[in-house]
A and B are shown apart, each in its own frame.
Chain A
Amino acid sequence: MAALDNTQIREPEVREGVDRETVETVASMAGKYKHGWETDIEMEFAPKGLNEDIVRLISAKNDEPEWLTEWRLAAYRRWLTMEKPLWAMIDYPEIDYQDQYYYAKPKSMTEKPKSLDEVDPKLLETYAKLGIPLKEQMILAGVEGAEEAPAEGRKVAVDAVFDSVSVGTTFKDELAKAGVIFCSISEAVREHPELVKKYLGSVVPQNDNFFAALNSAVFSDGSFVYIPPGVRCPMELSTYFRINAENTGQFERTLIVADKGAYVSYLEGCTAPKRDTHQLHAAVVEIVALDDAEVKYSTVQNWYPGDEDGRGGIYNFVTKRADCRGHRSKVMWTQVETGSAITWKYPSCILRGDDSQGEFYSIAIANNAQQADTGTKMVHLGRNTRSRIVSKGISAGKAQNTYRGLVSMHPRAANSRNYTQCDSLLIGNRCGAHTVPYIEVKNTTSRAEHEATTSKVDDDQLFYCRSRGMDEEEAVALVVNGFCKEVLQALPMEFAMEAQSLVAISLEGSVG
């Protein structure tokens, strides 16, 4: 009896610290969709609609060489013959591809400002809201001499893509010293055509799928990264994507090439204003990893998810693929999907090189009327290739959340390994959680393991938290964060913090 008394007295003290921290963390995340503002910046639009002239116009605006214009046109012609995929468990009205702007550019980009004072204040406001440090703001705004200004805190090179155009890249000089090329893809086409020509479309061909073909035809900008042989990129690279203008589709294209023995960690973040209409986002990300190269690609996808009734929000149709071309290469995808009305996204790894490795860590949260159909493909072609998939799906409100994945071990991929774990959590009884894995093992020495579970938030855990003074929403956020821990741990530091708070925000209003 005495022992029991002791524990009862001691335990609240131990829990106190954790409680307070959780309460504070949760309190600091007040507000629903934080990035729902819209910046009223003068924009230059191409006419609405899509035809060969628009494709040529986008190409001309970017001063592209003939071969790229032709490449785009070939993609456009191919797209016309394709049909949109219907297999995903998502339901959305027909998209009118002629009712979109395919090109929008902030006007203030035309002349270079001398200092931050001359920069369109609205643009600066945008950067400040995105949480970009001052020095990076100057560089992004194209202020002359910004590179020399003193930097604060931890270094992360940022490339910001505003609607269709990359507005600026930071830390260029420092990266150049290491030999790293990090710039917008339009700049890369001008400055490094041989690299772009060699790798563009080599992982995701123009005709790969309906949305990739559309992207190939009309992509307006995006980021380009090249890490030369043996170089460890000195800082994390980051892209912020922002859709701002109304009725504007965003089609960025990212190409990352890690040469032999190179290493890079790349972060991607995205936000959009609150609007009543749906906006289309169809991006393509291509990653090439040569011998011994390693690429980490982390995404915190926080596009506007639409309101409780499913009005507005981004339609996110993204093709992401990594080609582990070299032996012993490694690619790691980490994603936190909290936004978008519709998510259609399958970051994949083609494990071509012997001993190459692919990893996929994902948290997909769908609340209210959101629909997410996301997962990965691990295609084992080389010998001794390894892959690991950890997927955590959380559904709340009226949302539908599907994990769809493929693990394929080809006959030549001897001694390959795969481990897949996909767990789903349901909050409330109007939502759905689905798992659609494909596992194809075509040789004997390989081993594939797949596990999936679906459960609800454990009542005992909730009760425990509630009895310690948390309100129900906080308790759910804490339990869910625990459920996602394995994935959160795979994220780089800054992102892990942001992601953790996002998990809580995304679930707001899901209880009760």
Chain B
Amino acid sequence: MAGRREQIARARAEATGARLAGQALPSGGAWVTAARREALARLQALGLPDRRDEYWKYTDPTTLSAAEPIAAALFDLKGEPPMFHEMDRLRVVFVDGVFDPAASDDLALAGVEIERLATAAAADIHWARDLYGVLEARGQEPVPRSLATHNTAFAEDGVLIRVTGRTEKPVSLIYLHRAETSDAVLHHCIRLEPGAELTLMENGAGAARFSSVLEVEVGEGARFHHVRAQGRDHERRTHTHIFARLAERGVFKSFTATVNGRLVRNEAFLELLGREAVAHVAGTAVGDGDFHQDDTVFVTHAAESCESRQVFKKVLRNGAVGVFQGKILVTAEAQLTDGYQISQSLLLDEDSQFLVKPELEIYADDVKCSHGSTSGAIDPVQLFYLRSRGVPENEAQGLLVLAFLAEALNEIEDERLAADIRNRLEAWLARHRPA
């Protein structure tokens, strides 16, 4: 008699086979075809995730891996200015997952080479060969992240960025949603040569279902800043993966703001491979009603004297669900590691849920690692204090929520970006105040 585990493995292989049947790999030049074929083989071996996976304990991947996306209504900003609109930046626009040259700026910037994946894929040789799918493949241990592998195999668009110096302005990826049932698959690769610096912004919901993989190689002493806003009050289903590898003294800082959305899973897999590398990932998520947001982060310390921080704050109401799965792995070589992780939620009314799994796995003895997690309602004492000072209840609540989110917002280095995101969060709070 076959054991239960065998049955599950067989069911997964069958489901993955059925899902991939008839789906042909996109055509392209030699380097990308090789990478896509490898990814397909990897995907067939790993299988697509399902609800029984421990790694998907708190989030149901069914709608993310299904053959067809579920339609999402287009969202009208009604004259509200889009994110980051006042900033001087190089705009790269994708509509439903396809690059739009007319809406984008000229892809020329000093110290940076920017190329569209669809263009680079036609070549037979490309520098991205060392990155595309390579970091994603490294991220399949110890748990499979096969949705990212699916992306590597089938993505047809995205950007390939090579940074050789200090960029004069940030690169801004803008994702627009135009067709109700669109299914966007984007794959970006970024290489920062030693000492280079880049700020990357991403914003917009992008599609009814949006899949993105971002592979980042941070060279010696290079700095990468990443600020992302995933659209607002949109019915999207999104899964994103960041795979990053840091060399000595490399700096990686990523911040994500999520405002509503049906289902959002943001994964980050970061490897600190050189001494004194620094990786920070942070996020704020605010959700009202039918909202499920999941941050899953895996940080590997594999070199001495590195620092990592994970700061995640979620504000949830009306049945919204927030998930955080974070792990710090410290290998035996990574002495003098400083690892910090905090995940907190504010549950504004009944029915909301906060599901957390903060993990540490440590094999070196001279380390400082800590994690904390809390969940609860707004402190009535603080509320009372503000009320007693004449602040109306609604406003007092808003103030306390902003104060709660502040620790994560402080992770954004650029003041203008931080201010923009803070304003959006304030606006959301004003719109979603209890009656």
Please give the residue numbers on chain A whose beta carbons come within 8 Å of chain B beta carbons, in ascending order.
Answer: 81, 83, 87, 411, 424, 426-456
What's the minimum C-beta distance from B332 to chain A, rounded to whole angstroms?
Answer: 6
Contact of A455 with B367 at beta-carbon distance under 8 Å, contacts A444-B352, A448-B376 already known? yes
Query: Which residues on the A side are within 8 Å of B375 (C-beta)?
Result: 439, 441, 446-448
Bin the interface of chain B by size: 35 or more
Determine whether the beta carbon of B4 is less than 8 Å from that of A430: no
Query: Which residues on the B side are within 8 Å of A434 (C-beta)?
Result: 359-362
Query: Which residues on the B side are within 8 Å of A435 (C-beta)?
Result: 358-361, 371
Closest B residue to A87 using CB positions: B54
Within 8 Å by CB of B359, from A424, A432, A436, A451, lies A436
Inter-chain CA distance A428–B335, complex, in Å, is: 11
Determine whether the beta carbon of B377 is less than 8 Å from that of A426: no
Q: Is residue B363 contacting chain A, with contact meaning CB distance below 8 A?
A: yes
Determine whether the beta carbon of A454 is less than 8 Å from that of B367: yes
Determine whether the beta carbon of A441 is less than 8 Å from that of B332: no
6 A-B interface contacts by CB (under 8 A)? A427-B365, A429-B366, A432-B363, A444-B377, A450-B356, A453-B370
Q: Is residue B414 contacting chain A, with contact meaning CB distance below 8 A?
A: no
- Other than the given A437-B359, A448-B373, 17 more pairs (CB < 8 A) read A87-B54, A426-B367, A435-B360, A438-B357, A439-B356, A441-B354, A443-B351, A444-B351, A445-B377, A448-B374, A450-B371, A450-B372, A451-B371, A452-B358, A452-B372, A454-B370, A456-B367
Question: Of B227-235, B264-272, B342-350, which stretch is located at the interface?
Answer: B342-350
Mostly helix, strand, loop or mixed at chain A's interface? strand
What's the minimum C-beta distance from A373 to chain B, rounded to whole angstroms?
Answer: 12
Determine whether the beta carbon of B354 is less than 8 Å from that of A451: no
Inter-chain CA distance A452–B335, complex, in Å, is: 19
Determine whether the beta carbon of B353 is less than 8 Å from that of A450: no
Q: Is residue B98 contacting chain A, with contact meaning CB distance below 8 A?
A: no
Within 8 Å by CB of B365, from A83, A87, A426, A443, lies A426
Determine whether the beta carbon of A454 is less than 8 Å from that of B360: yes
Query: Which residues on the B side are within 8 Å of A440 (C-beta)?
Result: 353-356
Determine whether the beta carbon of A444 is less than 8 Å from that of B350: yes
Inter-chain CA distance A87–B357, complex, in Å, is: 15
Closest B residue to A400 using CB positions: B363
Determine whether the beta carbon of B360 is less than 8 Å from that of A447: no
Determine whether the beta carbon of A428 is less than 8 Å from that of B365: yes
What's the minimum C-beta distance from B369 to chain A, rounded to whole angstroms?
Answer: 4
Determine whether the beta carbon of A454 is less than 8 Å from that of B347: no
Determine whether the beta carbon of B361 is less than 8 Å from that of A441: no
Query: Which residues on the B side are within 8 Å of A447 (C-beta)?
Result: 374-377
Query: Which residues on the A side are within 8 Å of B358 (C-beta)?
Result: 435, 437, 439, 450, 452
Query: Which residues on the B side are within 8 Å of A428 (C-beta)?
Result: 365
Determine whether the beta carbon of A441 is less than 8 Å from that of B347: yes
Inter-chain CA distance A275–B314, complex, in Å, is: 53
Inter-chain CA distance A235–B195, complex, in Å, is: 71
Closest A residue to B358 using CB positions: A437
Closest A residue to B337 using CB positions: A454
The 6 closest A-B pairs by CB, nearest first: A447-B376, A426-B365, A444-B347, A435-B360, A439-B356, A441-B375
